[in-house]
Amino acid sequence: MKVAVIGLGTMGPGIAATLARAGMTVTSFDVSADQRAKAPELQKQANGVLAALGVPDRTVAEPAIADTLAAACRGAEMVVETVPEKLDIKAAVFKEIDAAVSKDCVIASNTSGIPISKLQSNVSNPGRVVGMHWSNPAHVIPMIEVIAGDKTDARMVQWMVDTIKGLGLLPVVVQKDVPGFVENRILYALLRECVDLVEKGVIDAEGLDTCVSWGIGYKLSVIGPMALLDMAGLDIYNAVGSYLNADLNNRADVAPYVTERIKQGKLGMKTGGGIFSYTPEQVGQLRGQRAKKLVAVRKALES
């Protein structure tokens, strides 16, 4: 299958590498010449991680980079849009893609949570627009959410499910086009409570990470939340939830703990610090260590 990946930022190179290794002919494009120049090395690194994961190598052609969106999309049977999470940018890119592809070409969006129904109004044949929400790092996390918008053809959802299974990955169908879909609704509910606990001084940031990673996180990667409810007992959940739910954080805005840091230019690893501080060497080391550990954990979970 011939595929175009539009956007080569954090997500695009990993997606392109995964699709190419599965035997698809992939051509990518990014509006930034800088990102286009960096992409081949990033794709190579992602392919190295895929090899370490033991993903079969069905490469027909190395992923290519085009100089224009139209050239990337020429002859494509599927386009994966992965440009910034801003509706106006995505709407403009959808119009460009629509003008560059055939009427039947599948248009998939990697949006983290913009309803697919809002995106499909920008194309001539909205039935072929579908959400294909990869998790970061795209070449490591095997679960992909599939989301239909109001006008998505039901056969399109099944096609995407089969395509993801063909990649050896795990499709999950989100049955309602709600903001944030499922993965990010859950992640953001968790992050809101984590930030609140640290902000209130209930625990420090290091302690919070140890508690979640080695308590809940480790367990959840083996036993999903619904299975965990059964394991703990619904009566126990009822007993605890009946007093605890009312005490959990439910603020609608983002906590000052985060917004104050943003005002100071502390955005996280990309600026040398956010909640924790990082030297450039530490950033490189952490990325390497985390990739290695994620590979080891995925292999263990698949065994």
Candidates 6, 105, 106, 198: give the one binding ligand NAD (CB under 6 A).
6
Candidates 8, 76, 100, 101: give the one binding ligand NAD (CB under 6 A).
8
Q: What share of the chain is helix, strand, coil (3-state, %, to 5)?
A: 50, 15, 35
Instruction: Closer to ligand NAD by CB, 83 or 157: give it.
Output: 83
Instruction: Closer to ligand NAD by CB, 85 or 230: give it.
Output: 85
- Give, in order, the Cα–Cα distances in Å from 64 to each of 20, 194, 253: 9, 41, 42
The rounded distance, in Å, linking the Cα atoms of 229 and 257 is 31
Scan for tokens 């984590």, then name that residue.
194
Instruction: Closer to ligand NAD by CB, 47 or 110: give it.
Output: 110
- SS3 for 166-232 is HCCCEEEEECCCCCCCCHHHHHHHHHHHHHHHHHCCCCCHHHHHHHHHHHHHHHHCCCCHHHHHHHH
Candidates 19, 20, 26, 93: give the one binding ligand NAD (CB under 6 A).
93
Interface characters, 56-85, with ligand NAD (x: CB under 6 A): -------------x------------xxxx
- SS3 for 61-116 is CCCEECCCHHHHHCCCCEEEECCCCCHHHHHHHHHHHHHHCCCCCEEEECCCCCCH
271 binds ligand NAD (CB under 6 A): no
Per DSSP, the three-state class of 17 is helix
Q: How far is the CB of 63 from ligand NAD (least distance, A)?
A: 15
The rounded distance, in Å, linking the Cα atoms of 134 and 137 is 8
175 binds ligand NAD (CB under 6 A): no
Instruction: Closer to ligand NAD by CB, 11 or 22: give it.
Output: 11
Rg (CA), the chain: 21
- Give, in order, the Cα–Cα distances in Å from 75 to each of 4, 43, 83, 239: 9, 22, 21, 58
Instruction: Closer to ligand NAD by CB, 209 or 223: give it.
Output: 209
Residues 113-142 that bind ligand NAD (CB under 6 A): 134-136
Q: How far is the CB of 232 from ligand NAD (least distance, A)?
A: 30
Q: How far is the CB of 118 from ligand NAD (least distance, A)?
A: 12
35 binds ligand NAD (CB under 6 A): yes
How many CB atoms lie under 10 A from the CB of residue 126?
A: 20
Q: Are 192 and 180 in contact (CB under 8 A)?
A: no
30 binds ligand NAD (CB under 6 A): yes
**Residues, the chain, total?**
303
Scan for tokens 């909205």, then name that residue.
126
Partners of 146 in beta bridges: 132, 173
Comparing every residue's Cβ against ligand NAD, the nearest one is 9
Instruction: Closer to ligand NAD by CB, 70 or 228: give it.
Output: 70
Q: How far is the CB of 267 from ligand NAD (least distance, A)?
A: 13
Candidates 18, 28, 112, 163: give the one binding ligand NAD (CB under 6 A).
112
Instruction: Closer to ligand NAD by CB, 89 or 212: give it.
Output: 89
Candidates 27, 43, 111, 120: give the one binding ligand NAD (CB under 6 A).
111
Residues in touch with ligand NAD (CB under 6 A): 6-12, 29-32, 35, 69, 82-85, 89, 93, 110-112, 134-136
